[in-house]
A and B are shown apart, each in its own frame.
Chain A
Amino acid sequence: MVDPALAMEERENAGARFRAGLWRENPILVQALGMCPVLAVSNTATNALTMALATASVLLASAIVISALRGIIPRQVRLACFVLVIATFVTLTDLLIEAFALELHRALGAFLPLIVVNCMILSRIELMASRQPLPVAALDALGMGGGFLVGLLCLGSLRELLGQGQLFGHQVMPEAFQPWQIMQVPGGGFFTLAALVIVFHLLDRRLRPAGASA
């Protein structure tokens, strides 16, 4: 039997979870989770977009499966089960990207299989999917995946724009623009991320109604 009060709280939860991932608990800009791919493959907008989409789809698929299986997974081996499910979806994503976009597959290299150990995914599975009913888990995964995508895409676009004068491979800066080499190396990723986090928090403070607590 489902406690009506609990069901109510959960339904309210679902929408809130979705929005939380996008902004208040953004995995990149607030939680700083999954930083390894964030800094390494965000040198162009296309790489960032593919990486984020791959990560988000793995998260969503794993969250749905784990949430559906949460009644039968024994607590003692839950981590093994989580990793098994996540690894399966990562491998499938890897195979599909290799089949349909070999160039992108080459650009992302070792970071595609490394989605298995992305701590954002594991934390969402452990905190949400393994405890919440399917709709809440799915919306939470969508929100977090979306937040990851927004963060990574901002980072990738900025780095490509300043580092190559291009956006998604198209020249957008005037010819006279001298590309900043540093934006293309991992160090540039750190600087850009720092700048984004600062901008995010300034915006967040301005948007938040006065007197509201963090």
Chain B
Amino acid sequence: MTHDPRSAQPSVLRIQAVLVAIALTAGLAIATVHELTRPMVMAQRGGLFGDAALEVLPGADSYRIYVRADDGRLRPLGDGDEPELFIGLDARGRATGAALVASGMGYADTIQLVYGLDPEARKLTGLRVVVSRETPGLGSKIIDDEDFVDGFTRIELPFDDGRLQPLRISADARHERGEVDAITGATVSARSVAGIVSDSLERWLPILEREYARLADAADG
């Protein structure tokens, strides 16, 4: 066929055929590479979450990883699971606290972070953002602004009548009321982080209350 697509008016069918062909090829290529690289990314992320767990749990130098089973109980990490809970262990194998993986929507994309809880689950011991795509120079401060990150460890978890209140971000934060200092230029991202931690605490505190002693004993034993 020698017709020149630039001069002749091509049929709608031809236009669509070309578009569909290109889109299909593109989709196939992306799916293939995604499948191939997925295990590598997950392996690195698993390592990153573990590293983050050690950073947010003072005194811990190893950990055990647990996930929630379908019946709501906790079981050790199996093949193909994504880590949810780290129990930090000190050099003698005693439990030093729990670190939790939490995720939620940020300004640009999903934020995944790890935060540590002391054994009494009354204070946060640390926070590390592991995966995020916040705007470099602005939202990305949630990763490297030491004051902001440390702010989470200065607060008392705010309970009202035994119920956990959401953590708040505030320009003149009062730490005893569960308020964390805001960061200029990263308002949305900072609020997202506080929201992610609050949601995760709300879900996990009852579970930890029930199961932490058992897990800590298991760690000792």
Binding site for B on A (CB under 8 A): 40-41, 69, 71-77, 80-81, 84-85, 87-88, 91-92, 95-96, 98-100, 102, 106-111, 185-186
The 8 Å CB contact of B14, one of A74, A84, A95, A98, is A74
Q: Count CB-based A-B contacts (< 8 Å).
A: 77
**30 A-B pairs with C-beta separation under 8 A:** A41-B136, A72-B5, A73-B18, A74-B14, A74-B15, A75-B6, A76-B10, A76-B15, A80-B19, A84-B22, A84-B26, A85-B22, A88-B29, A91-B30, A92-B29, A95-B33, A96-B33, A98-B37, A99-B41, A102-B44, A102-B45, A106-B131, A107-B136, A109-B108, A109-B132, A109-B134, A110-B134, A110-B136, A111-B136, A186-B137
**B5 contacts A110, CB within 8 Å?**
no
Q: Report B-chain residues with C-beta under 8 Å of the C-beta of A40.
A: 136-137
B135 touches A109 (CB 8 A): yes
Q: Which residues of B contact A74 (CB under 8 A)?
A: 5, 10, 14-15, 18
Q: A88-B30, A91-B30, A92-B30 are in contact. Are A75 and B5 (CB under 8 A)?
A: yes
Chain B interface residues toward A at CB < 8 A: 5-6, 10, 14-15, 18-19, 22-23, 26, 29-30, 33-34, 37, 40-41, 44-45, 48, 108-109, 131-137, 140, 143
Q: How far is the CB of B106 from chain A (nearest CB, A)?
A: 10
- Which of A69, A71, A110 is B109 in contact with, Cβ under 8 Å? A110
Report the 8 A-B pairs with minimum CB-CB distance, sorted nearest first: A99-B37, A88-B26, A99-B40, A74-B10, A102-B44, A74-B15, A110-B133, A109-B133
Q: Quick one: closest B residue to A40, CB to CB?
A: B136
- Decide if B5 touches A84 in the complex (CB within 8 Å): no
CB nearest neighbor in A for B35? A95
Alpha-carbon separation in the docked complex, A161 to B140 (Å): 22
In angstroms, Cα B6 to Cα A185, docked, is 47
B6 → chain A closest CB, angstroms = 6
CB distance from B29 to the nearest CB of A (A): 6
Q: Report the minimal beta-carbon distance from B49 to chain A, rounded to whole angstroms.
A: 12
Given contacts A69-B22, A111-B136, 20 further A-B contacts (CB under 8 A): A71-B5, A74-B10, A74-B15, A77-B18, A80-B19, A84-B23, A88-B26, A88-B30, A92-B30, A95-B33, A95-B34, A98-B37, A106-B131, A106-B143, A109-B108, A109-B134, A109-B135, A110-B108, A110-B135, A185-B137
- Provide the residues of chain B in CB contact with A111, threshold 8 Å: 136
Shortest beta-carbon distance from B38 to chain A in Å = 8
Chain B residue numbers with a CB within 8 Å of A92 are: 29-30, 33
CB-CB under 8 A from B131, the residues of chain A are: 106
In the bound assembly, the distance between CA atoms of A40 and B9 in angstroms comes to: 43
With a cutoff of 8 Å between Cβ atoms, the chain B residues found around residue A185 in the complex are 137
Q: Are B15 and A77 in contact (CB-based, < 8 A)?
A: yes
Contact flag A77-B135 (CB < 8 Å), given A84-B26, A92-B29, A99-B37? no
Residues of A within 8 A of B109 (CB): 110
Please, how many angstroms separate the alpha-carbon atoms of A91 and B23 in the complex? Answer: 13
Residue of B nearest to A91 (CB): B30
Q: Return chain B residues, CB-CB under 8 Å to A98.
A: 37, 41
Specify which chain B residues have a CB less than 8 angstroms from the CB of A107 in the assembled complex: 136
Q: What is the CA–CA distance of A77 and B5 in the complex, to the nearest angstrom?
A: 11
Residue among A73, A100, A102, A106 making CB contact with B132, cutoff 8 Å: A106
